[in-house]
Amino acid sequence: MMTDGKDTKNDPADRGERIAKVLARLGVASRRDAEKLIAEHRVVLNGETVTTPATFVKDGDKIELDGERLGRKQKTRLFLYHKPPGLITTAKDPERRTTVFETLPSNLPRLISVGRLDLNTEGLLLLTNDGELSRALELPSTGLKRTYRVRVYGDYGGEDVLVKKLEKLKKGLFWKGVRYSSIEATLDEQQKADGHNYWITMTLTEGKNREIRNVMEAIGYKVSRLIRIAYGPFELGEMNREEIIEIPTKTMKSLLPETVSQKISG
């Protein structure tokens, strides 16, 4: 049917939105993880199992995940969480290890993480009910820096050798088939006399899988402790382990880049 010279059948606005984008906006998961849910046949649209992310959703359509009806988009909420070591940052773990989400208070909405911290990494983890916001905060193009305190050991050349190697990280490096961008790394001024262990502060923008551990291995050191202390404008500060703090909407919008704050609902 033709209307005002346009073929509405092929009009993207008439088709609705891709289901992965809708799931992300509902706070179910990031778009990438939403596609995994679809591949696992866990998503149902109007009574039929969704088999492809190229499925479109219109107003009034009924979406279910694992048999649970999903409602309308909620007000965007963002939480800071002090993750202890020993927790997995995933909704479900095949090995039945305890996940971050199993430790959260029961009165919180369905939350997803902004990026991930691996099993033994601790510190600041951002959690939100908005998958679109999660994705925006993760993108390197958004420019949010991640800062870590890192304890390392190895390469017995002393502090002077370590400092020189850390300076070279500003140029980035290529290690085991992966290119790592520039990393700011400085040796902490006050070091304890504990052999060949050193504390370093490292700041990066990419957040690739096991990036700090891999980069330090590339220059001859092993990471024995890894603590994220900041993510963009948000800081761990004096938060206790497993403590969770909600960021007010007004504060969220004022601290984040305009391209991100525009995605915040409420």
Query: Do strands 146-153 and 197-204 pair parallel, antiparallel, or not at all (unpaired)?
Result: antiparallel
Non-local (6+) Cβ contacts of 261 within 8 A are: 252, 253, 254
Closest CA to 125 of 97, 83, 69: 83
Catalytic one of 7, 11, 61, 118: 118
118 noted as active-site residue:
yes
Backbone angles phi, psi at 248, to 5 degrees: -60, 150
Type of residue numbered 7? D
Q: 21-33 in b/e burial notation, b at 16+ Cβ within 10 A?
A: bbbbbbbbbbbeb
Non-local (6+) Cβ contacts of 23 within 8 A are: 29, 31, 34, 37, 43, 63, 65, 70, 131
SS3 call for 3: strand
- Helix (H) or strand (E) holding 231, with range, is strand 222-231
Catalytic residues: 118
